Amino acid sequence: MSDTEIDVTDAELTESLAAVTDAEPLVQALTNEVTMNDVANLILHWGALPVMADSPGDAGEMARAASAVLVNTGQVPDGKIEAMHEAVETATEREVPVVLDPVGVGSTPTREAVAEDLLSTTEFSIIKGNYGEISSLAGVDSQVRGVESVGDYEEIERAARSLADSTGAIVVASGVEDIVADADSAYRIAAGHELLGEVVGTGCMLGATLAAFSGAVEDEHAAALHGTLAFGIAGERAAELAYRGPESYRTNFHDAVYGFSAESTDRDADESLEVDLEDRIERVV
């Protein structure tokens, strides 16, 4: 990946959103049972098609038809690990983008071993994790309690770039502000709402979003930037609707994603959503 400056415009964001709804990519998600329903629905609300084939045999077979594959390590029983390897092997053979969401890496040796084994056999298009998970994979000191990132990460841009350099993937580190990095650059994205952190599974849903975008947007860096940005803006739009707490906000978020996607399909090819992106994206490296 070159270090060319990327200037994300609302027209480019609209184009990527429309690409997802136009292509209707089949996204195979091998995710955990805690968030499976939200992941499936969010993929659908972006305009893609979800399929949750995660058992040995079926996983590899389904990957033959998938436009993108999402691997989420939120739960790692032996059968699911086998299915993950089948799916990513088939996807790699077909040159289909694969997104890794290393949930909980840094909290237990088992999860670290699963993620490292996947990284040793697969060239992932995008790796998405919270600050702690990304830092752990990059070999930097981190604190992950369960599946949550705790502690301070003043060098998160450096960690994300290091992981991108060693894996060849675009790395998305999610936090109060999100980092999207390749080996040569890092962008800080200011978008989202604090209530996203009060709903279990929003990290998994961001991984699902990146898989949906990567299945339709050819440029991996653009898919990661636009997907992360759209996710955050949808989180803000959800807060503009009436809610009483995290659960009603969660419903609003799904509705906001669906509405965001629908807006893009209602535009002519030369129109944009007129989203205010000023001060949203900053190149920090």
Task: Please check the confidence at residue 116 and state whether its pLDDT lies above 80.
Answer: yes
Helices (H), 122-218: 131-137, 156-167, 202-214
For the chain, percent of residues with pLDDT exceeding 70: 92
- The mean-pLDDT minimum among 7-21, 63-77, 146-160, 164-178 falls in 146-160
Q: Cβ atoms within 10 A of the Cβ of 173, count?
A: 29
Confidence at residue 262, expressed as pLDDT on a 0 to 100 scale: 87
What's the token pair of residue 193? 């709402």
Structural contact between residues 225 and 10, judged by C-beta atoms closer than 8 angstroms:
no
| Mean pLDDT (whole number) for 16-43 | 97
Confidence at residue 59, expressed as pLDDT on a 0 to 100 scale: 98
- Residues annotated in a binding site for substrate: 52, 201
pLDDT level of residue 146 (50, 70, 90 thresholds): very low
* Cα 250 to Cα 247: distance, rounded to the nearest angstrom: 5
- Residues annotated in a binding site for ATP: 128, 174
Structural contact between residues 63 and 69, judged by C-beta atoms closer than 8 angstroms:
yes
pLDDT level of residue 143 (50, 70, 90 thresholds): low
pLDDT in tens, 58-107: 999 999 999 999 999 999 999 999 999 999 999 999 999 999 999 989 88
What's the token pair of residue 7? 């200037």
For the chain, percent of residues with pLDDT exceeding 90: 78
Cα-only R_g, the chain: 17
Q: Under CATH, which number does the domain 10-283 receive?
A: 3.40.1190.20
What's the token pair of residue 61? 């077979």
Task: Please check the confidence at residue 3 and state whether its pLDDT lies above 80.
Answer: no
Confidence at residue 124, expressed as pLDDT on a 0 to 100 scale: 98
Confidence at residue 149, expressed as pLDDT on a 0 to 100 scale: 46
Q: Which helix (H) or strand (E) holds 189?
A: strand 186-189
| Mean pLDDT (whole number) for 191-215 | 96
What's the token pair of residue 179? 């980092």
Nearest to 193 by CA among 204, 202, 181: 202
Burial of 9 (0-12, 13-18, 19+ CB in 10 A): exposed
Helices (H), the chain: 10-23, 36-45, 58-63, 78-93, 109-121, 131-137, 156-167, 202-214, 220-240, 246-265
Nearest to 186 by CA among 226, 142, 225, 227: 225
* Cα 126 to Cα 180: distance, rounded to the nearest angstrom: 10
Higher pLDDT, 245 or 132: 245
Q: What is the pTM of this model?
A: 0.93
- Residues annotated in a binding site: 52, 128, 174, 201
pLDDT in tens, 214-268: 999 999 999 999 999 999 999 999 999 999 999 999 999 999 999 998 888 777 6
- Mean pLDDT (the chain) is 91
Confidence at residue 271, expressed as pLDDT on a 0 to 100 scale: 72
* Cα 239 to Cα 236: distance, rounded to the nearest angstrom: 5
